[in-house]
């Protein structure tokens, strides 16, 4: 149980269940890295694209595993922000803030792997599919996610690589914490 | 903060430092977008924008149009010379007629001071001031500050001199407001007749010697002599103006440091700036200003469009 205080001084009880521990995430990341190697061998014609904001931590972690533990050099990593491609512009209560896009290579005829932390409705990935076209025409696009929330998709989008699959109620939220951002690797299910 | 504190962009006077920071942050992202192979994002595909230009413009109008198109908005253009304004239609009538065609945002340039403010009170659309008479030109001031920030890291603490026809310049007034908001030191320099009385009340200092002003500053923003707004002779001759306030290469080389040269355009070559100064690769950032103009205008339109309620 976690007690949180919202601005008007009302105390809410927020339940927070741990879904994946740091150790489990460690094992999953290595498995995902191996699956990527299986399909892309030396990554010569492959580029990894982390979806901003939260997919970038996962992408950077995977690149570091590929380079340091499996000695694959020169893995190309780009960061893609999808804010201007979202389909909920003017429909959200609070406007979404843009993040940096950093893709300093052309994706023309490359195999692109989108990397994001949680796959929920599929709308972010839909926006990313549009956004990546600004950088060329990839030969194919795959999707890697750490958490796949089953039965919650609004669009016909499925991951090629998934860390873990969960069934969560709509009013619950899956949050991924990373060592470099939040001080600890963990995945939680939080009651909104 | 991810939202502007104002509903329209009528002038820098109405916005605050947080708004400027938000516009710059958003413009940083758009600057990256307009340097991609495909320079367009679909954010505003259900927004229609009317560009109402009651006064001549090349750069600003093209820049707004490009910004709007790169955000995927539908754009209609209007210029006073080809319209019913010449038949005697009032400003509100013109605007309301355009609005009944379901326009969400109006970008307007008008020769009358306060025209955008007036329009914002009478029509139901977001208004962006693209220059109202000798009053304000907020998007130009924002892109000027954005260009300084890009070259020098920040605007805060920098010394900027605005040279030339300050009296008739909307660019000067908006720049003074914007630069002061961001903590810059501002000086104006020009013939006495073209420096407004009481300009010091805006927190700027005045210098009549161009050499001293340039020696003091980090950036010189050089204004155009606006002959079209001059009803009397403010200085004896263009030649005399150029000799006393024109900036040339020997003058810049005689300074103890390298300063940046900006100009809002259009340049009167050989009057306020010589060609070798305007085209100098290491000191002139005039073309950077033009490039940044599109990114800044994309940011402003994007942020204002965010506030438009869906039907």
**What domains can be seen in chain B, in order of their start residue?**
12-135+292-305 (3.40.50.1370), 138-290 (3.40.50.1370)
What is the predicted pLDDT for the residue at B98?
A: 81
Is some CB atom of chain A closer than 8 A to the CB atom of B21?
no
User: What tokens were used for A181?
Assistant: 């951002």
Report yes or no on A8 lying in a domain.
no
Is some CB atom of chain A closer than 8 A to the CB atom of B310?
yes
Is some CB atom of chain A closer than 8 A to the CB atom of B41?
yes
Report yes or no on A136 lying in a domain.
yes
Q: Do A135 and B36 touch (CB under 8 A)?
A: yes
Contact at 8 Å (CB) between B20 and B292?
Answer: no
The fraction of chain A above a pLDDT of 70, given in percent, is 93
Q: CB count, 10 Å around CB of A19?
A: 18
- Closest by Cα among B164, B159, B160, B162 to B244: B164
CATH of the domain at A28: 3.40.50.2020
What is the predicted pLDDT for the residue at A1?
A: 47
Report yes or no on A12 lying in a domain.
no
**What is the Cα–Cα distance from B132 to B276, expressed in whole angstroms?**
32
Q: Do B37 and A135 touch (CB under 8 A)?
A: yes
What is the predicted pLDDT for the residue at A104?
A: 87
Q: Which of B35, B42, B48, B307 to mutate to test the interface with A (most CBs of A within 10 A)?
A: B42
A10, burial (CB in 10 Å: exposed 0-12, middle 13-18, buried 19+): exposed
Contact at 8 Å (CB) between B288 and B294?
Answer: no
Structural domain total, chain A: 1
Q: Determine which helix (DSSP H) or strand (DSSP E) holds A190, and give its type and residue range.
A: strand A186-191
ipTM field: 0.77
What is the predicted pLDDT for the residue at B132?
A: 93
Report yes or no on A11 lying in a domain.
no
- Closest by Cα among A60, A82, A83 to A181: A60
Predicted confidence (pLDDT) per residue in A52-89, tens digit:
999 999 999 999 999 999 999 989 999 999 999 998 88
Radius of gyration of chain A (CA): 17
User: What tokens were used for B180?
Assistant: 């002061």
Predicted confidence (pLDDT) per residue in A180-189, tens digit:
999 999 999 9
What is the predicted pLDDT for the residue at B172?
A: 96
Average pLDDT, chain B: 92
Is some CB atom of chain A closer than 8 A to the CB atom of B43?
yes
What is the predicted pLDDT for the residue at A9?
A: 47
Domain region containing A178: 18-191
**What is the Cα–Cα distance from A49 to A114, expressed in whole angstroms?**
5
Q: B219-246 burial, b for 16+ CB within 10 Å, e for fewer?
A: bbbbbbbbeeeeeeebbeeeeebbeebb
**How many DSSP H helices and E strands does chain B contain?**
11, 9
Predicted confidence (pLDDT) per residue in B37-82, tens digit:
889 999 999 999 999 999 888 889 999 999 999 999 999 998 877 6
3-class DSSP string for B106-166: EEEEECCCCHHHHHHHHCCCEEEEEEECCCECHHHHHHHHHHHHHHHCCCCCCEEEEECCC
Predicted confidence (pLDDT) per residue in A9-58, tens digit:
444 456 788 999 999 999 999 999 999 999 999 899 999 999 999 999 99
Question: Closest residue of B to A87, CA-based?
Answer: B43
Minimum distance, in Å, between the CA of residue B302 and any CA atom of chain A: 9
Residue A98 confidence class, pLDDT cut points 50, 70, 90? confident
Which residues of chain B register pLDDT less than 50? none
């Amino acid at each position: 149980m976690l007690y949180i205080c919202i601005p008007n001084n009302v105390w809410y009880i927020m339940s927070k269940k741990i879904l994946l521990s740091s150790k489990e995430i460690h094992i999953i990341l290595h498995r995902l890295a191996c699956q990527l190697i299986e399909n892309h061998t030396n990554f010569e014609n492959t580029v990894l694209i982390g979806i901003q904001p939260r997919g970038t931590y996962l992408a950077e972690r995977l690149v570091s595993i590929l380079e340091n533990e499996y000695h694959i050099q020169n893995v190309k990593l780009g960061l893609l922000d999808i804010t201007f491609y979202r389909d909920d512009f003017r429909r959200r209560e609070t406007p979404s803030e843009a993040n940096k896009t950093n893709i300093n290579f052309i994706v023309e005829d490359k195999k692109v792997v989108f990397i994001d932390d949680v796959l929920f409705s599929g709308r972010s990935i839909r926006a990313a599919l549009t956004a990546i076209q600004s950088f060329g025409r990839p030969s194919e696009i795959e999707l890697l996610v750490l958490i796949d929330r089953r039965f919650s998709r609004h669009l016909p989008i499925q991951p090629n690589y998934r860390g873990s699959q969960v069934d969560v109620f709509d009013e619950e939220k899956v949050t991924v914490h990373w060592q470099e951002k939040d001080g600890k690797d963990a995945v939680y299910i939080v009651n909104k | 903060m991810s939202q502007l504190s104002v509903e329209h962009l009528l002038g820098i006077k109405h916005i605050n430092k947080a708004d400027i920071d938000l516009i710059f942050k958003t413009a940083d992202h758009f600057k990256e977008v307009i340097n991609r192979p495909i320079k367009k994002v679909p954010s505003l595909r259900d927004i229609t924008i009317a560009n109402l230009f009651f006064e001549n413009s090349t750069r600003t109008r093209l820049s707004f149009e490009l910004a709007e198109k790169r955000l995927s908005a539908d754009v209609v253009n209007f210029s006073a010379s080809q319209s019913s304004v010449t038949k005697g239609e009032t400003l509100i009538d013109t605007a309301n007629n355009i609005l009944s065609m379901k326009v969400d945002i109006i970008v307007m340039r008008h020769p009358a001071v306060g025209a955008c403010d007036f329009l914002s009170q009478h029509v139901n659309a977001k208004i962006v001031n693209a220059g109202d008479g000798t009053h304000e030109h907020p998007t130009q001031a924002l892109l000027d500050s954005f260009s300084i920030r890009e070259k020098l890291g920040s605007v805060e603490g920098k010394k900027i001199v605005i040279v030339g026809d300050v009296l008739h310049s909307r660019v000067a007034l908006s720049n003074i407001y914007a630069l002061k908001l961001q903590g810059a030191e501002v000086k104006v320099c020009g013939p006495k007749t073209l420096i407004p009385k009481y300009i010091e009340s805006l927190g700027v200092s005045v210098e009549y010697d161009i050499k001293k002003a340039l020696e003091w500053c980090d950036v010189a923003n050089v204004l155009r002599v606006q002959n079209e707004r001059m009803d009397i002779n403010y200085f004896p001759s263009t030649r005399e103006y150029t000799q006393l306030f024109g900036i040339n290469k020997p003058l810049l080389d005689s300074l103890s440091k390298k300063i940046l040269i900006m100009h809002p355009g259009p340049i009167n070559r050989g009057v306020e700036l010589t060609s070798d100064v305007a085209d100098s690769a290491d000191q002139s950032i005039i073309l950077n200003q033009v490039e940044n103009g599109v990114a800044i205008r994309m940011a402003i339109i994007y942020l204002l469009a965010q506030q438009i309620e869906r039907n």
